[in-house]
Amino acid sequence: MSFFERNRAQLAELGIDPARLPPGQYHTERFPVLHAGSVPDVDLDEWDFVVDGLVEERLAWSWDDMVAMATSDVVADIHCVTKWTKFDTRWTGIPTRQVWNQIAPSPDARFVIVNAYHGFTANLPVEDFLSEDALFATHFDGEPLEPEHGYPMRLVVPHLYFWKSVKWVRGFTLVAEDQPGFWERNGYHMYGDPFKQQRYWGDT
Ligand SMILES: Nc1nc2c(c(=O)[nH]1)N[C@H]1C(S)=C(S)[C@@H](COP(=O)(O)O)O[C@H]1N2
Ligand SMILES: [Mo]
């Protein structure tokens, strides 16, 4: 039996429905750290969250503005394209819908480019960005995010591969046409459904 087969076989013993583990993935209790470049130095006094592009008016919220917004808790499985899956991760933060309700998007806005420190970006359709369990998380497992996991805020969109879940997020840009973000320019799939194994360019 291969490592992957053994790992999948363990799920029954753990009481986890094997259907929750996407094809080609293994589950882990660890929380690996993955990103390009360095962990940014964050100064909350200078931090802002900017919404621009196809929106009636560009908006910029301070850290205090953001944390005054209502939060919710999400428990979800996360799937990294490097093949690890972590079940039942618990995040607290501001639902993307809650942010969306405070902006005036143009009807032409069909995609969101999420922006972070160091010019990092990721693209996703508005519909996915607004999924019920998508949020701008400030806490993992009840504790503020660790610097390497995205402190002070990261996007979490559990139903897509985890590279879409932008760490050190600073806002988003609304656009009409899809355009590749950082990893998508470097070989990753434009959409990234883990259950369809949409990992790289050319995966259908
Ligand atoms: N700003 C930023 N966010 C990022 C990345 C990155 O390079 N920069 N990498 C993505 C990738 S490829 C993955 S798998 C996840 C990893 O999140 P973690 O380090 O908290 O496990 O962050 C995503 N968010
Ligand atoms: Mo990744």
Within 10 Å of residue 114's Cβ, how many Cβ atoms?
24
Distance, CA of 98 to CA of 154 (rounded, Å): 15
Q: Whose CA is nearest to atom 5 of ligand 1?
A: 35
Closest ligand to the CA of 81: 2
Atom of ligand 1 nearest to the CA of 36: 7
Residue 1's pLDDT is what?
A: 85
Looking at the domain assignment, is residue 155 inside a domain? yes
Q: Output the CA–CA distances (angstroms, integers) from residue 187 to 34, 71, 169, 192, in the order listed.
A: 16, 34, 22, 11
CATH number at residue 142: 3.90.420.10
**Among candidates 145, 184, 192, 169, which has minimal Cα distance to 51?**
169
Domain count, the chain: 1
Atom of ligand 1 nearest to the CA of 35: 7
Confidence of residue 170 (pLDDT cuts 50, 70, 90): very high
Residue 95's pLDDT is what?
A: 98
Burial class (CB in 10 A: 0-12, 13-18, 19+), 103: middle
Kindly report the backbone phi and psi dihedral angles of residue 69, in degrees, each rounded to the nearest multiple of 5, phi listed first.
-75, 150
CA of 20 to the centre of ligand 2 (A): 19
Looking at the domain assignment, is residue 182 inside a domain? yes
Looking at the domain assignment, is residue 147 inside a domain? yes
Asked if residues 108 and 52 have their Cβ atoms less than 8 Å apart, the reply is: no
> Which residue bears the tokens 């309700």?
101
**Among candidates 109, 138, 139, 137, which has minimal Cα distance to 124?**
109
**Residues 63-79: tens digit of each pLDDT:** 999 999 999 999 999 99
Residue whose CB lies within 8 A of the most ligand 1 atoms, among 85, 114, 115, 162, for a mutation test:
162
Mean pLDDT, residues 129-157: 98
Residues within a 6 A CB radius of ligand 1:
32-36, 80, 116, 120, 149, 162-163, 165-168, 183
**Residues 10-28: tens digit of each pLDDT:** 999 999 999 999 999 999 9
Query: Domain span at residue 144?
Result: 37-75+87-196
